[in-house]
Amino acid sequence: MLIETELTPNPATIKFLPGREVMGTGTRDFATPEEAEASPLADALFGLGDVTGVFFGGHFISVTIAPGSEWSDVKPDVLATLLEHFSANMPLFTPGSAAGISVPSDADSFTDAPEDAEIVEQIRELIDTRVRPAVANDGGDIIYRGFDKGTVYLKMQGACSGCPSSTATLKNGIEQLLKHYVPEVTEVRAV
């Protein structure tokens, strides 16, 4: 089995492509070792010590390392962990009952005003069709969190979270795109 790697705009994050589906639908972001306990793979990656973030996309895994860590030291262990997991066809998530499932909090979500429904629909469509595919190429994801008085709130995940160029992407890319197609948008902010 060959696992390809791609650099991302975030120097602390590398995108690993195992040549097979990782998540059938959706994405999953693990920001702490406690969150990673839901996945044997994420748990093993955090167990390496230098890993501070794991993100599962459709056909990739993005791994983020701690400041001061060097990819030249960590990459062989990450690759070995991924090879072992995928070669053994291990499950991505720990099987369990509904009692063991925790749903991430939407504390950073906003309730959209009913009168903004058409605007929100346009924003969501642009994000899903134009923004998310481009961001996935860089090993991350952007999730819509709300629209309030002209401001669009987005959550950045994976390689996008903590990326030095994420502010430029947000302001110069996403904000300009949304303003062009949806005149009601005045600003885009990360939450």
Rounded Cα gap, residues 78 and 44, in angstroms = 9
Mean of the per-residue pLDDT values for the chain?
Answer: 86
Rounded Cα gap, residues 96 and 117, in angstroms = 37
Which residues have CB under 8 Å from 44's CB, separation 6+? 81, 85
Tens-place pLDDT, residues 47-77: 999 999 999 988 999 999 999 999 999 999 9
Residue 96's pLDDT is what? 67
E strand residue ranges, 12-150? 13-17, 28-30, 51-56, 61-65, 140-148
Flag whether pLDDT at 169 surpasses 80.
Answer: no
Of 3-12, 47-56, 89-98, 114-123, give the lowest mean pLDDT range: 89-98
Flag whether pLDDT at 183 surpasses 90.
Answer: yes
Model confidence band, residue 30 (pLDDT cutoffs 50, 70, 90): very high
Rounded Cα gap, residues 185 and 170, in angstroms = 13
Do 152 and 123 meet the contact criterion of CB atoms below 8 Å apart?
Answer: yes
Between 1 and 163, whose confidence is greater?
A: 1
Residue 163's pLDDT is what? 67
Rounded Cα gap, residues 138 and 159, in angstroms = 7
Do 130 and 167 meet the contact criterion of CB atoms below 8 Å apart?
Answer: no
Model confidence band, residue 136 (pLDDT cutoffs 50, 70, 90): confident
Where in the chain are the domains?
4-88, 114-190
- CATH architecture of residue range(s) 4-88: 2-Layer Sandwich (3.30)
Residue 164's pLDDT is what? 65
Triad 140, 156, 56: Cα angle to 5°: 35
Tokens encoding 186:
């005045």
The CA-to-CA distance between both ends of the chain, in Å, stands at 38
Flag whether pLDDT at 185 surpasses 70.
Answer: yes
Q: What is the third-level CATH fold of 114-190? A: GMP Synthetase; Chain A, domain 3 (3.30.300)
The label of the residue with tokens 């030095």 reads 164
Residue 174's pLDDT is what? 87
CA separation, residue 5 to residues 2, 59, 132, 150, 162 (Å): 10, 12, 20, 39, 20
Q: Which of 17, 6, 16, 13 minimizes the C-alpha distance to 31? A: 13
Between 122 and 97, whose confidence is greater?
A: 122
